[in-house]
């Protein structure tokens, strides 16, 4: 390494920039005499801030050097010159970081559009998505329209609506039981959401509904769902294994809808997620709704979706929307996933605080007056 650096300095000058170094071993004749090969890629034309021009214009632009030595030789020289290499790498790193900051800087928008851009960020829309949507509005509207807040808001709503994918409510075909599974992390509100849907379809839609719970990890969850089942007037099966779940689904095959409550799982617990997948597959559901809390941290929400995708997700239900100060998280998810949204929940009251997701309702969460 020491000799190679000396050659670089001799041919390209002391201001040459080290672009890459590589050390490997090469076998000699008939496999004997293994030698250490040092390869350095350097240039005297890379424009590094603070570096003067190359001393000699006649020098070659690039040089590739192979230096042969016995194994173990020149390690001391490599350590002596490692400081120079690290200095060059540090300079390049600082320049890349500066460029990244410049590209990440907020664009300059007309006042009315800039205010809406800030509103989107405050509502939890990611910066990249906000730039995408606002940028489209900025490009398509005339200067006069960009000064009109009403026109800007309407156009912005139109761009955001393009991101929304809706599945609509659960539909019964009347021919066989519609099997619906609810999954999600702990504390997201699966049991309450199932109770709301069961009450709606049993009382308002006059459907024959059955409940099954596999959430036996929490005694309170079973008791809670049993109370709801008694009030609504529907049956409840409690199952402990995938085989029991399969049999319970078959027993209720004459029903119109069978709702299955599953135990909450941490997205960090791979073993429990595999167990959940086995339960879901045994039920052979028509729909698997993943409940996502609207109060979930924006950096964690995609981790949750990724981990729970071990079982195919048919749609999202966003819970606790009434508690969220960042409803933009819903748009972040819908813009990055091919899965639609079916419902949002807005409180604890059964069966009232749930509604079928709609473009108008979701946009209203973003544009509601404070």
Q: Over range 249-268, report the average pLDDT.
A: 87
Cα(207)–Cα(185) distance, integer angstroms? 29
Q: How confident is the model at residue 242 (pLDDT cuts 50, 70, 90)?
A: very high
- Name the phi and psi angles at 193, rounded to 5: -65, -40
Q: What is the pLDDT of residue 33?
A: 58
Mean pLDDT of the residues in the chain? 81
Q: Which two tokens stand for residue 115?
A: 């205010």
The whole-angstrom separation of Cα 145 and Cα 152 is: 7
Residues 69 and 2: beta-carbon distance below 8 Å: no
Q: How far is Cα 73 from Cα 76, in angstroms, rounded to an integer?
A: 8
Closest CA to 168 of 287, 280, 281, 255: 287
In a 13 Å sphere around the CA of 9, the CA atoms on its Cβ side amount to 10
**pLDDT tens readout for residues 29-43:** 555 556 777 777 777
Q: Which of 158-167, 190-199, 255-264, 266-275 has the lowest mean pLDDT?
A: 266-275
Model pLDDT for residues 176-217, shown as the tens digit of each residue: 889 999 999 988 889 899 999 999 999 999 999 999 998 877
Instruction: Answer yes or no: is pLDDT of 345 > 80.
Output: yes
Residue 187's SS3 state is: coil
Helices (H), the chain: 2-12, 75-104, 111-122, 127-140, 143-146, 149-161, 190-199, 219-232, 242-251, 270-283, 301-308, 328-336, 359-367
In the structure, what pLDDT confidence band is assigned to residue 87 with cuts at 50, 70 and 90?
A: low
Q: Which token pair is 153?
A: 């808001």
More confident residue, 42 or 15: 42
Average pLDDT over residues 16-34: 64
The pLDDT assigned to 76 comes to: 43
Q: What is the pLDDT of residue 53?
A: 45
* Residue where the block lists tokens 């034309």: 45
Asked if 202 contacts 232 with a C-beta cutoff of 8 angstroms, the reply is yes
The residue-averaged pLDDT of 274-287 equals 91
Confidence of residue 120 (pLDDT cuts 50, 70, 90): very high
Q: How many CB atoms lie within 10 A of CB 303?
A: 13
Of 259, 214, 251, whose CA–CA distance to 234 is shortest?
Answer: 259
Name the pLDDT band for 111 (thresholds 50, 70, 90): confident
Write down the pTM of the prediction: 0.68
Please calculate the CA angle 70-71-76 and round it to the nearest 5 degrees: 95
The CATH T-level fold of domain 178-367 is: Rossmann fold (3.40.50)
């Amino acid at each position: 390494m020491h000799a190679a650096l000396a050659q670089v300095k001799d041919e390209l000058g002391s201001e040459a920039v080290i672009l890459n170094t590589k050390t490997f071993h090469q076998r000699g004749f008939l496999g004997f005499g293994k030698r250490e090969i040092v390869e350095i890629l350097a240039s005297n034309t890379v424009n590094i801030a603070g570096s003067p021009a190359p001393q000699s214009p006649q020098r070659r632009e690039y040089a590739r050097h192979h230096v042969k030595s016995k194994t173990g030789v020149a390690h001391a020289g490599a350590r002596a010159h490692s400081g120079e290499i690290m200095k060059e790498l540090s300079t390049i790193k600082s320049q890349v970081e500066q460029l990244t900051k410049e590209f990440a800087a907020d664009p300059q928008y007309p006042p009315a559009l800039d205010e809406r851009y800030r509103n989107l960020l405050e509502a939890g829309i990611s910066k990249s998505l906000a730039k995408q949507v606002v940028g489209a509005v900025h490009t398509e509207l005339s200067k006069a329209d960009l000064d009109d807040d009403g026109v800007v808001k309407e156009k912005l709503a139109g761009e955001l609506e393009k991101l929304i994918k809706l599945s609509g409510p659960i539909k019964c075909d009347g021919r066989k039981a519609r099997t619906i599974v609810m999954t999600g992390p702990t504390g997201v509100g699966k049991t309450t959401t199932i109770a709301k849907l069961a009450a709606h379809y049993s009382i308002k839609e006059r459907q024959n509904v059955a409940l099954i719970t596999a959430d036996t990890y929490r005694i309170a969850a079973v008791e809670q769902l049993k109370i709801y089942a008694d009030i609504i007037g529907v049956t409840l099966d409690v199952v402990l294994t995938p085989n029991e779940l399969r049999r319970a689904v078959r027993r209720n095959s004459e029903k119109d809808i069978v709702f299955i409550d599953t135990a909450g799982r941490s997205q960090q617990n791979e073993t429990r997620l595999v167990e959940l997948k086995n339960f879901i597959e045994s039920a052979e559901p028509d729909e698997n709704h993943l409940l996502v809390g609207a109060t979930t941290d924006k950096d964690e929400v995609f981790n949750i979706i990724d981990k729970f995708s071990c079982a195919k997700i048919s749609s999202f239900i966003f819970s606790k929307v009434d508690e969220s100060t960042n409803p933009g998280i819903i748009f972040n998810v819908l813009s990055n996933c091919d899965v639609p949204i079916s419902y949002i929940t807005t409180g604890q009251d059964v069966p009232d605080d749930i509604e079928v997701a709609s473009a108008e309702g979701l946009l209203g969460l973003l544009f509601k007056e404070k």
